[in-house]
A = this chain, B = another copy of it.
């Protein structure tokens, strides 16, 4: 591992988009540029094969290819977290071993997401899974996609299993986040990361260890700056930077009508910036000309704001 476990799960860890050149092919040049863009932006880790990375929509062949390419390009400069969420237990375990061999640092798993699973079943599932994994594991609460909340009591139970190092909460439910934070306060080594960047500042100021912010794919420095301002208790700077992040959400992410728009918007921006292709895996499709034009205007606006923001 590039870091001791104690240093994992801190700071801004972008859920990296997967640059694609077609349905079943990585945009290899784009991938390299994106990784360098993120590391240059100061991010504290990379989370690949998550929701923003379109993991479930990729063929298994491509997922393995991606893990390999990313590990090779990163060369231990930052920790790599690999999503192994799957409806098939066997596939999760298999991928985890490959990720370990390639040099990844930790794994991330949300509950299986087809037939809804009960909490008692979920605890048993995590127990069985953990015993077969070769790397530390981060729980991933993502009820909007999995239909299943990892309830606070379940988090508490699972947190006691060996190798569980933290939780990424993408529920967008701050009541849940606060409840879990309070319950695991007795376990300072158990880290909590916030998913939605529209809750990033609140979460960091009140004790989150970091954020898995999709927007950091586009503007890594902005999110890293906010994280550092929060750690240093520079409340005014936090507010100034947060305004920009909320503006990104209100403009770029609000273009179009589907829940896939966040990823579409991010990929569109990365394409406009010349970093990587904006091809999206089925069942989604990149923004067409009309939305792309709108996104371009939003990008220019955000770049203008960023250029005149001096803390």
Instruction: Give the B-binding residues of A (Cβ under 8 A).
Output: 23-24, 51, 56-60, 62, 87-91, 94, 111-118, 120-122, 124-125, 128-129, 144-145, 147, 172-175, 178-179, 182-183, 196, 198-199, 201-202, 205-206, 233, 235, 239, 242, 246-247, 250, 257-260, 263, 281-285
Residue pair A202, B206 in contact (C-beta under 8 Å): yes
7 contacts between A and B (CB under 8 A): A59-B94, A60-B88, A121-B285, A172-B174, A175-B196, A202-B205, A233-B235
Cβ-defined contact, A258 with B23, below 8 A = no
- In the assembled complex, the CB of A260 is this many whole angstroms from the nearest CB of chain B, namely 6
Contacts of A281 in B (CB 8 A): 88-89
Given B259, B263, B282, which contacts A89 in the complex, CB threshold below 8 Å?
B282
Q: Which of B89, B144, B260 contacts A57 (CB 8 A)?
A: B89
CA distance A51 to B112 in the complex (A): 13
Q: How far is the CA of A41 from the CA of B33 in the complex (A)?
A: 59
B115 x A59 contact (CB < 8 A): no
Contact of A121 among B59, B125, B174, B258 (CB under 8 A): B258
**Shortest Cβ distance from A24 into B: residue:** B90
Chain B residue, CB-CB nearest to A182:
B246
Complex CA–CA separation, A242 to B206 (angstroms):
10
Chain B's nearest CB lies how many Å from the CB of A287? 12
State the 4 A-B residue pairs at the shortest beta-carbon distance, nearest first: A56-B87, A89-B282, A125-B283, A59-B90
Shortest beta-carbon distance, A243 to chain B, in Å? 8
Q: How far is the CA of A258 from the CA of B122 in the complex (A)?
A: 11
User: Which residues of the partner chain B approach A57 to less than 8 Å between Cβ atoms?
Assistant: 87-89, 112, 114
Q: Are B56 and A259 in contact (CB under 8 A)?
A: no
Q: Are A89 and B172 CB-contacts (below 8 A) given A205-B205, A206-B239? A: no
Given contacts A202-B202, A206-B202, whether A115 and B260 have CB atoms under 8 Å apart is yes
Distance to closest chain B CB from A223 (angstroms) = 16
Sample of 17 more A-B contacts, CB < 8 Å, known A122-B283, A233-B235: A23-B90, A56-B112, A56-B114, A57-B89, A59-B88, A59-B90, A59-B91, A59-B94, A89-B282, A115-B260, A116-B259, A121-B258, A124-B285, A125-B283, A182-B246, A183-B250, A202-B206
| Chain B residue contacts of A89, Cβ below 8 A | 23, 57, 281-283
Question: Which residues of chain B are near A263, meaning CB under 8 Å?
Answer: 115
A145 to B116, CA, bound (A): 7
Bound Cα distance from A124 to B88, whole angstroms = 27
Tell me, rounded to whole Å, the shortest Cβ–Cβ distance linking A190 to chain B.
Answer: 17
Smallest beta-carbon distance A54→chain B, Å? 8
Q: Which of B91, B115, B183, B205 contacts A145 (CB 8 A)?
A: B115
Find chain B residues with CB under 8 A from A51 CB.
Answer: 114-115
